[in-house]
C-alpha cells in the first residue's frame, strides 16, 4: 500500500472481509474473540517450532510464518474492536498511556492489571 496504513484504515479495510456468525446482531459476537485466541495460539505454535525444529534460531522462513500469523491476530483484534464499538487507535493509545504510567511509577514488572 502506497499510503501509510493507520489503525483506522486497517480496521476499516479488515471490516470489509469480516464474515462470521452473529456479526450483524445487536449483541457482541463471541466468534472474533475465539478466533483471536486461536490465532495467538498459532503464533505460539510457530515459536515452539522455532525452538524444536530450528534450534531456537529465527529463520527467514519462520519469520515469514510468524508475520502471517501476527497478521491474523491483528485482523481478529480489529474484529473484536469493531464488535465493542472501539477504535483500534484508541485502544492502542490507552495501552501506551497505561504503560507510561506504570513506567513512571516503577511498576512495569509485577502482577495484576491494576498495578
List, for residues 1-26, the tens digit of each pLDDT value. 558 999 999 999 999 999 999 888 87
Q: Encode pLDDT of 39-62 as tens digits.
A: 999 999 999 999 999 999 999 999
pTM of the predicted model over 0.75: yes
- Using CA atoms, how far apart are residues 71 and 67, in angstroms rounded to an integer? 6
14 Cβ contact list (under 8 Å, min separation 6): 74, 75, 78, 79
The distance of Cα 78 from the centroid of its chain, to the nearest Å, equals: 8
Amino acid at each position: 500500500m502506497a499510503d501509510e496504513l493507520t489503525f483506522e484504515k486497517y480496521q476499516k479495510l479488515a471490516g470489509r472481509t469480516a464474515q462470521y456468525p452473529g456479526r450483524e446482531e445487536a449483541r457482541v459476537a463471541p466468534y472474533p474473540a475465539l478466533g483471536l485466541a486461536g490465532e495467538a495460539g498459532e503464533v505460539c505454535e510457530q515459536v515452539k517450532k522455532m525452538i524444536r525444529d530450528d534450534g531456537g534460531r529465527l529463520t527467514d522462513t519462520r519469520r515469514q510464518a510468524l508475520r502471517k500469523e501476527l497478521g491474523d491476530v491483528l485482523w481478529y483484534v480489529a474484529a473484536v474492536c469493531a464488535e465493542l464499538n472501539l477504535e483500534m487507535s484508541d485502544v492502542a493509545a490507552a495501552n501506551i498511556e497505561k504503560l507510561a504510567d506504570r513506567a513512571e511509577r516503577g511498576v512495569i514488572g509485577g502482577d495484576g492489571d491494576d498495578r
